[in-house]
Chain A
């Protein structure tokens, strides 16, 4: 790791002021993406601004219409929340499958979304449920948030404060996890929402994306059989040592079918 200065602001306003005047600085949340990156010397921030002590970013609230999760809330808290399990079981299930128990004890939803790792879980739920990402500057709709591999709509120094997930009529999430790392090779988040059917695919492409063809088929009939005959094209999907683009395309159908079945379709 290269050397850096360390700051631990107590409020969001302080954090924002710091990141504003430290152009080479970086926010540190759970550190479970950033610290491994620093250890490999793949980044060299001048300063780390640890937002782990900011109470405003923590916790979750559940109402009849939405689950709102503070950016600094750890995966484990979402996975274990009885209220989240009741309101959006697929979201709690997704959180309970991120990495391992130790990763879930530190990693946060804000860090996961800001990073937009193609193999991350949360982007599936954000896009699948049509969530709204709140930041220190504005609100960003899920459909506008993910821009590419490790790329989001966030500006330099913009801090995610919370994520608001509308409660769907029903939803399901299935992933094919890499057998060694447990990271997503292909995941499918299917939801019947007030605005219609949404199908978000993570792990397969540079960032999470919606699968329009499956949405249409499921809108006609919400049943696993509706997606059986569909095949996503392999063009543009990730191809690496873990899986070829063709294999990922195949898994998109399989995971979507299983997600629909999990949602009761």
Chain B
């Protein structure tokens, strides 16, 4: 066992975990933050995407120990004071989800994509989502939502 301390959604937390604990297990099983999903567990689907120090990454392919001292944001950390993040709001407004399983990862990837790339075109958005799979929507409304959020986020 080893102690891993991470700042998760602004709160500093510490847990004793086995070195083989994945970040996604740390979040879901040790912190009870089950908004981050596991879709494939083979690094393909992006359902598990969170931000580590401002970059979107697959938490199923990262050890919790690699995140010692890092700052992690999950889907639970996006809304502020009971108000949805503009990206969450855009997903709701544009009906960018059906079953919702891919949505947390999709939104975390989308927020990072928009924050780092001003003036996104539809093509940029589609390419930017290469790491996120959705089995329901056909992506159309997801792309629309991200394009809209790109504007409301002032990018």
Contacts and interface: CB of A to CB of B under 8 A. Distances in A.
B150 interface: no
Interface in B100-131: 109, 112-113, 128, 130-131
Interface residues of B, number: 28
A50 interface: yes
Contacts of A39: 41-42
Nearest to A182: B130
Interface of A: 1-6, 8, 28, 31-32, 35-36, 38-39, 48, 50, 52, 76, 99-103, 105-106, 181-182
B20 A36 contact: no
Interface of B: 2, 18-20, 22, 41-44, 46, 49, 55-58, 61-63, 65-66, 68, 109, 112-113, 128, 130-132
B55 A6 contact: no
A50 B18 CA distance: 15
A52 B68 CA distance: 11
A94 B42 CA distance: 23
Contact of A31 (B41, B66, B113): B66
B20 A2 contact: yes
27 contacts: A3-B19, A6-B63, A31-B63, A31-B66, A32-B43, A35-B22, A35-B43, A35-B63, A36-B42, A36-B43, A36-B61, A50-B63, A50-B66, A52-B66, A99-B131, A100-B46, A101-B112, A102-B46, A102-B56, A102-B58, A102-B109, A102-B131, A103-B58, A103-B131, A106-B57, A106-B58, A182-B130
